[in-house]
Chains A and B, each alone.
Chain A
Amino acid sequence: MFRILTLLSFTLLLSGCSGNWGWYVVDPTTPTGMTNLKFMASGAYNTILMSVTAISISVVVGLLVALPGLSTKRGWRMFNRTYVEIVRAVPILVLILWVYYGLPTLSGITLNVFWAGVLALALSDSAFQAEIFRAGIQSIARGQYEAAQTISLNYRDTMRYVILPQAIRRILPALGNQLVYMLKMSSLVSVIGMQELTRKANELVVVEYRPLEIYTILVLEYLVLILIVSTGVRWLERRLKASDTA
């Protein structure tokens, strides 16, 4: 991970020597550069908070939508299909605009920028989470359900103690993917004025007018965040595998 970063920064610095780059705007050795960098990094808190809140909600909603999709009853399955198909069809940017500007008119509830962003991100992601959970749960062998039935476990306990712990281990890589996706999609919430990484970069570009350097730093910021997430998910996968069989 660090090797990739070093290589990338090195390439960028070298090309800076050719005179096309104006690294002074983000040069940590100068007071202005340091201030600018701090300003850009200050968006990270909101990016992370928004993504983590949204993914926590979407995992729960996704599971609640996935379960009816596995029902033997047609009506429940219809609910699942309808939800997934409709939510999945809305572009995430459109959903953000709709929730922020449209929902207050419809419901009378006005959400602040943060919660509007979280709601839109969570809603959009929940349809994908639902599909991931459904696939994960369906991959668990029928014998596991049967064994649970023969020791008199009810549906809730069967899911909670037998099926979901195994399903979650299997879908962990996919859940990690969704978190990465969420971190990136949260940049779209900048359009309604959320002060996150992308918004900060945009504001700095307006002042400094060095888009190449500033957006390059922005790319690196996302890269660092996402590499941290990937490493974390890999670690979790290894840890769970240590106490489990495939």
Chain B
Amino acid sequence: MADPIIQMQNVSKFFGDFQALRDVSLDVANGERVVICGPSGSGKSTLIRCINRLEAHEAGQITVGGTTLTDAPVDLEKIRGQVGMVFQQFNLFPHLTVLENLCLGPRRALGLTDAQARDRALMYLTRVQIPDQADKFPRQLSGGQQQRVAIARSLCMEPRIMLFDEPTSALDPEMIAEVLDVMTELAASGMTMIVVTHEMGFARRVADRIVFMDKGEIVEIGTPEAVFTAPKSPRFKTFLNQILNH
């Protein structure tokens, strides 16, 4: 690969006796959009949570933007500074307004002044199309709006890579589109993205590559046309049938 920004080599992860990741290797190029899918418990969330070390892997090596992940706080800081993340449950700070949610990281971690942080926050709120909600509290917003705020909060840190962990799974159907639209726009802007999702329409439109995982392994990997039109492994075929024909 020409310019891999993330390199994972033979990564393994255990939760007690349960092996969540088995020898997973994956390189992601700068600017690439990768969609990870697979049945629940297949290790897809664990995989992306290892990239910013919300989970620590036990074996193998992960390198992000040239820095290899270790427990050293310096490395961790370097990597977390480059990697943003959006969660299934949004994880907004409920006691802070939308604007305060967005400004906290830039002010405390990046050292921006209040005015700079505010300008940046408003810019990204405009980008996710909710500039008028800045002074509301998260609970006053719809699920779709909350998730867009969460995306804006990550973007305010100006990461090089964005991780999405089932960003639409907790949303009502009518709100999924507004979140996917924002993500599509972000993909078009050249952001490196790794998205765990069951939204196959989004995957087909946006992804450069699709990764199918099952039982902690990468079973199949390829471009959307290749994997959707002619899935090679029987497990992937079954999975696609299940989610496309229900």
A149 and B156 CA atoms in complex are apart in Å by 14
**1/0 contact string of A150-170 vs chain B (CB within 8 Å):** 111110010001100110010
A224 to B: closest C-beta gap in Å: 33
B93 lies within 8 A of A144 (CB): yes
* B83 at interface by CB-CB < 8 Å: yes
Residues 132-160 of A contacting B (Cβ, < 8 Å): 141, 143-144, 146-147, 149-154, 157
Decide yes or no whether B115 CB sits under 8 A from chain A. no
Residues of A within 8 A of B91 (CB): 141, 143-144, 146-147
Residue B87, interface by CB 8 Å: yes
Complex Cα–Cα for A243 and B135 (A): 11
How many angstroms from the CA of A150 to the CA of B93 in the assembled complex? Answer: 13
List, in ascending order, chain A residues with CB within 8 A of B96's CB.
161
Tell me which residues across on chain B come within 8 A of A144, comparing CB atoms: 91, 93
B54 within 8 A of A: yes
Question: Could you tell me which residues of chain A, from 6 to 53, have a CB within 8 Å of some CB in chain B?
Answer: none
Expressed in whole angstroms, the Cα–Cα distance for A150 and B137 within the complex equals: 20
Tell me, in angstroms, the Cα distance from A128 to B80 when the chains sit together: 37
Q: Is the interface of B mostly helix, strand, loop or mixed?
A: loop
Partner of B77, one of A152, A165, A244: A152
Distance of A233 from chain B, by nearest CB (Å): 18
Stretch at the interface among B19-27, B101-109, B192-200, B229-237: B101-109
**How many angstroms between the C-alpha atoms of A166 and B93 in the bound complex?**
9
Cβ of A245 within 8 Å of any chain B Cβ, yes or no, is yes
Hey, which chain A residues are within 8 Å of B94, CB to CB? 166, 244-245
Name the interface residues of A78-109: CB closer than 8 Å to any CB of B: none
Give the complex CA separation of A244 and B105 in angstroms. 20
Pair B154/A169 contact, Cβ less than 8 Å: no
User: Which residues on the B side are within 8 Å of A162 (C-beta)?
Assistant: 93, 104
| B84 nearest in chain A by CB position | A150
Q: Give chain B residues whose Cβ lies under 8 Å from the Cβ of A153.
A: 104-105, 108-109
With a cutoff of 8 Å between Cβ atoms, the chain A residues found around residue B52 in the complex are 149-150
Query: With a CB–CB cut-off of 8 A, which chain B residues contact A146?
Result: 54, 85, 87, 91
Instruction: List residues of chain B with CB within 8 A of the CB of A151.
Output: 84, 104-105, 109, 153-154, 156-157
Q: Shortest distance in angstroms between A141's beta carbon and chain B's nearest beta carbon?
A: 8
B92 close to A (CB within 8 Å):
yes
Residues in A lying within 8 Å of B, measured CB to CB:
141, 143-144, 146-147, 149-154, 157, 161-162, 165-166, 169, 243-245
Name the 7 nearest CB pairs between A and B, nearest first.
A151-B105, A152-B109, A147-B91, A245-B139, A143-B91, A150-B85, A245-B94
